Amino acid sequence: MGLPWHKLSRKKQNMYIILMAVVLAGIITGIVFLVNMS
């Protein structure tokens, strides 16, 4: 990961992790949805 972890506070780190988890979940949901539609 290219993020400057050492510059971020613990709260910001948690926010980044949650944000990435949400983005990944959205991508996976989108792929599953497209596969089911076709």
Interior angle at CA 21, CA 17 and CA 10, nearest 5? 10
CA distances from 9 to 2, 5, 19, 22, 24 (A): 16, 8, 15, 20, 23
Q: What is the DSSP letter of 3?
A: S
Its pTM stands at 0.61
Domains of the chain: which residue ranges? 9-37
- Residues in the chain predicted with pLDDT less than 50, given as ranges, are none
- Residue 20's alpha-carbon distances to 6, 30, 33, 38, in angstroms, are 18, 15, 20, 27
CA–CA separation, 28 and 35 (whole Å)? 11
**29-38 pLDDT tens trace:** 999 999 999 8
